[in-house]
Amino acid sequence: MSLSLSRRAARTVQSEIRVMSIECEKIKGINLSQGVCDTEVPEPVREAAKRAIDGGINSYTRAEGLAPIREAIAEKMRRFNGIECDPETEVIVNSGATGSFYAACMALLNPGDEVILFEPYYGYHLNTIVAVEAEPVYVTLRPPHWTFSPEDLERAVTPRTRAIVINSPANPSGKVFSRQELEWIADFACRHDLFVFTDEIYEYFIYEGEHISPATLKGMRERTITMSGYSKTFSITGWRVGYTICDRKWAQSIAYFHDLVYVCAPAPLQIGVAEGIRQLPESFYGQIAKEYVQKRDLLCGTLKEIGLTPSVPKGSYYVLADASDLPGRTSKERARYLLQATGVASVAGSAFYHDGGEDLLRFCFAKNDADLEEACRRLKVLPEKLGAVLKSRA
Ligand code: PLP
C-alpha cells in the first residue's frame, strides 16, 4: 500500500480566495478578494473581551457556549429575527458560522445524501458538503437579478435529497431572497421533508429589501438550522464566534460535533460578543447598512466606469462584475490580468460555480474607506491599460 491522502481530501481544493490573497500580498496590491472586514471593532466588544481575559475567563466552556452569550443571542433572535428560542437547549455558540455549518452537516447528513445548493455559491458551503461525503446538487440563479423558479427546485430534487442551503443576503451575488422566494423554498422543503440550512451571516448588511429568517415561515421551525455570527457585524473575523439556532432535537448532536473539532469558541471572546449584543443600540446596526451602501456605490460606480459592469448587490458586501472584456480565456486568467494591470485583487467567478462563472469577477467592499478609495483609483487605470493591449494586438 502506498501512502496517499484520503478520497475526501482529493475532492477539496484550496480556496481560490486564499490563492489570490497570496498573489496580492506578493505585489503589495490591494486585496478586494477576501471578506476580511477591516473596519473598526466596536468598543464595548473589545473592552468586554479584555476584561474577560483579565478577569480569568480563559478556560474551555460548555460545548453549547457560555450562558451570557446564549441568553444575549436568544434575546436578539426574538427581537431582530422573530424567532423564539430557549437559550438552554436551542442555542449553540460555535467557532463562527463556519463551525456551525460543519457541525450541523456532521450531525444531520449521511454520506450520499443530496444537498441543494444555489449557485453562485459560497465555497465553504460546497466544500463542507463534500467533506461530509454528501452530494451537492446545483440550482443556478439567473443573472442579473439572480432569480430562480419553483420548477428549478423541483428539477433538482430526488429521493436522496435531504437538505437545501439558503444564504441570504448572499455571498457572492449579493442577492436578498424575497419573501415569495423563501415561501417557495419553505413549501418545497415541507413537501419533500427537507432540512433547511440558512446562513444569515450578512443579516445586517441589507441595502434593498428586508431580512427574513426562513425559520419564521410556516412549517419551517423544526426543519430549519439557522446559522449566523458576529464576524462581519462586529468586524471580528479572527475571533471565531458564531452560533446555531435549531430545534432541541438536533441541538445536542450539533453541539457534540462542534465540540469534537473546536471544543468551544474562545471563552473571553464569547463574553466580548455577549456584551456587544447587550450594549450596542439599534442605531449601530442601522449604521452598518448606511456605511456599506456608500462603499457599495463607490465600488460599483468605479466598476461601471471602467467597463466591468457590476450586478449591484442588494445585500452582503460583495459584487459580481462582468469581466468578459478582460484578456484571458478563464476567469482565473482574467483575475490575474487585473491584478497585474491595476494592483487590485479580485476572485475568479469560477470559484462560485461547479461549471461556469468564467466571465465574472467578485470584488469585496468590506474595506476601510482609504483602502477602498485607493483600490478605485487604481482600477481606473484599466481602460488605458486595455487600450494598450488592444493597440499591441492591432
Ligand atoms: N458564511 C458566508 C456566506 C460567508 O461569506 C462567510 C465569510 O466570508 C462566512 C459564512 C464565515 O463566517 P464565520 O467567520 O462566522 O465563520
Strands 310-311 and 114-119: unpaired
Q: Would you state the cell numbers that stand for residue 150, as one nine-digit string?
A: 419553483
Cα 87 to Cα 70, 102, 294, 378, distances in angstroms: 5, 21, 36, 48
Span from the CA of 97 to the centroid of ligand 1 (angstroms): 6
Residues of the chain above pLDDT 90, percent: 87
Indicate whether 9 pLDDT > 70. yes
Q: How far apart are CA 324 and CA 334, in angstroms?
A: 8
Give the tens place of pLDDT for each residue, 243-255: 999 999 999 999 9
Enclosing H/E stretch for 135 = strand 135-140
Ligand 1-lining residues (CB < 6 angstroms): 35, 96-98, 122, 167, 171, 199, 201, 229, 231, 237, 242
Cα 390 to Cα 99, 219, 326, distances in angstroms: 47, 57, 10
Span from the CA of 199 to the centroid of ligand 1 (angstroms): 8
Residue 195 Rama label (left phi>0; alpha psi -120 to 50; beta):
beta
pLDDT of residue 207: 97
Q: How far apart are CA 108 and CA 105, in angstroms?
A: 5
Give the tens place of pLDDT for each residue, 325-354: 999 999 999 999 999 999 999 999 999 999
pLDDT of residue 227: 98
pLDDT of residue 25: 87
Query: Which of 79, 292, 288 shows the shortest CA–CA distance to 204?
Result: 288
φ, ψ dihedrals at 84, nearest 5°? -85, 125
Q: Which atom of ligand 1 is nearest to the CA of 122?
A: 3
Indicate whether 2 pLDDT > 90. no
Span from the CA of 26 to the centroid of ligand 1 (angstroms): 25
- Beta-carbon contacts of 6 under 8 Å, excluding residues fewer than 6 positions away, are none
Q: Would you state the cell numbers that stand for residue 13, as one nine-digit string?
A: 481544493
Query: Which of 98, 204, 270 should be mutated for ligand 1, with most atoms under 8 A from CB?
Result: 98
Q: How far apart are CA 378 and CA 295, in angstroms?
A: 16
pLDDT of residue 76: 98
What is the greatest pairwise CA distance in the chain? 70
CB 141 within 8 A of CB 177: no
CB 127 within 8 A of CB 118: no
What is the average pLDDT score of the chain?
95
Span from the CA of 1 to the centroid of ligand 1 (angstroms): 39
pLDDT of residue 36: 66
Indicate whether 12 pLDDT > 90. no
Indicate whether 387 pLDDT > 90. no
3-class DSSP state of 393: helix
E strands along 161-301, which residues?
161-167, 195-199, 224-229, 242-245
pLDDT grade for 10, boundaries at 50, 70 and 90: confident
Indicate whether 389 pLDDT > 90. no
Give the tens place of pLDDT for each residue, 206-258: 999 999 999 999 999 999 999 999 999 999 999 999 999 999 999 999 999 99
Higher pLDDT, 53 or 33: 53
3-class DSSP state of 249: helix
Q: Would you state the cell numbers that stand for residue 216, as one nine-digit string?
A: 419564521
pTM of the model: 0.95
Residues 127-148 have a mean pLDDT of: 96
Q: Whose CA is nearest to atom 6 of ligand 1?
A: 201
Residue written as cell 431582530? 80
E strands along 190-334, which residues?
195-199, 224-229, 242-245, 310-311, 318-322
Span from the CA of 98 to the centroid of ligand 1 (angstroms): 6
pLDDT grade for 394, boundaries at 50, 70 and 90: low
Q: Would you state the cell numbers that stand for residue 320, as one nine-digit string?
A: 459580481
Query: Which of 117, 90, 118, 130 shows the shortest CA–CA distance to 226?
Result: 90
Q: How far apart are CA 388 and CA 66, in angstroms?
A: 59
Indicate whether 110 pLDDT > 80. yes
Give the tens place of pLDDT for each residue, 253-302: 999 999 999 999 999 999 999 999 999 999 999 999 999 999 999 999 99
Residue written as cell 472586514? 37
